[in-house]
Amino acid sequence: MRSLADLADDLATGRTTSQALTEAALARIDDPSGEGERAFIKVYHKAALDSAKASDIARNNGVVPSPLAGIPVSIKDLCDVAGEVTRAGSIVRRDAAPATGDAPVLANLRAAGAIIVGRTNMVEFAMGTPGTNAHYGTPKNPWDRATGRIPGGSTSGGAVSVSDGMAAAALGTDTAGSVRVPAALCGMAGFKPTARRVSAQGIFPLARSLDSVGPLAPTVACCALVDAIFAAETPSPLRPRSLQDLRLAVPKHLVLDDMDDVVAASFAAALNKLSAAGAKVTEIEFPELARLPAINRIGGFSTAEAYALHRDTLARARDQYDANVAGRIQMGDTWTAADYLDLIDIRAEMIAAANGVTAAYDAIVMPTSPVVACAIADVAEGTAWLDAGRLLLRNNIVANFLDRCALTIPCHGQGEAPVGLMLMGETLGDRPLLEIGSAVEACISPPLP
């Protein structure tokens, strides 16, 4: 992986061209010994090269629409592309009507000059965290390829596209961790914005109450650049916060449970580094978090809203769904209108209570995932798949449920199993969180190769 700033500098100084970057990305996708076949559902070979050549001509004439111009980017398969069917990682939508236009986030990427290399694989309909897909295969985590470990989901192909140099950044979505989990398990940064900041129009929904669109990229600064473009904001360089006297809170409840030894060691080492650099790291009471497993015992908003969307299709074509995904969506059948209205009220109460707890701190800190990536074979189906998904999303869903922004940053040692440290900010506190994250990253993250 290389940072977007480095790639942009190479383009600006003439050390490379957009065509060269795009050809290299496409070659990695097409490499039969690599993960491209499983990481991508559709590759835009000709369109990407045509766009790259046009970008080089524009640059030579002084036209550079953004720092992302000329750089290869992948998009998740649930993003509308004009004239194409949005399959959302499924086969059941093969005969659906093509999209009439690009999703706004994709339109923003194109306007910024990004080169779209392809649509990435994902958990079917974004309903699952291990990252498996029964229809298109499961891309392997870059760590321990010999074992074949899960990439995390649901933005599985997006994470592997970045880790393997098939794209410099990826468009993902995050309903309960679908950006942050694969970013953490694959060793990169991932950002979930406050949902309302970035349009989800033209993105096939999972749960409209929680869905957000965010980037996976090598560094926090990379995420900040792509996030600004997604949100139709003018990109500007991050100004990292000083770690001196930064107030970081670690909840005692829920988020530290069931950590494996690798995550526990990496997380503790990261907190020690931050403390040594002057940050004030405090364990706090956050009892509201302990309620979340019971609140989401049958999937929360995700199953209720997904079932409402899929119930007719499930009735006529359940055999075309991944059995794991169909079973999880079907959980929504047990919801009543009263249950759903109660959940809306509970969420509002939880948000108000949490705001009181976190107001005195600059960010809340927790492990992104309590465990490192397991073998794909260990979570192929049934209870193992469901249990693994629940554990992987447990810490991540906190930010979605509380309507916050959140960022995952690698905190493992060089050459070790990828582990993510998550920072959760306040609602619409996205830019301050990214500035904090940039400083934290410089303190705890392994350097890019």
Instruction: Cite the active site residues.
Output: 76, 154, 178
In sequence order, what DSSP letters do the residues of 252-271 get, joined into one string?
SSSTTTT--HHHHHHHHHHH
CA distances to 7, 12, 23, 326 from 20, in Å: 11, 14, 5, 42
Interatomic CA distance for residues 100 and 109, integer angstroms: 17
Which among 126, 117, 118 is positioned nearest to 52, based on CA atoms?
117
Beta bridge partners of 116: 73
**Residue 27 contacts residue 49 (beta carbons within 8 Å):** no
Query: Nearest 5°: phi and psi at 201?
Result: -65, 135
For the chain, give the longest Cα–Cα distance: 62
Helical residues (DSSP H) of 253-336, grouped into ranges: 261-276, 292-295, 300-317, 323-330
Residues 6+ apart with CB under 8 A from 150: 130, 131, 132, 138, 141, 156, 185, 373, 374, 375, 376, 379, 388
3-state DSSP assignment of residue 17 = coil
Residues 6+ apart with CB under 8 A from 24: 165
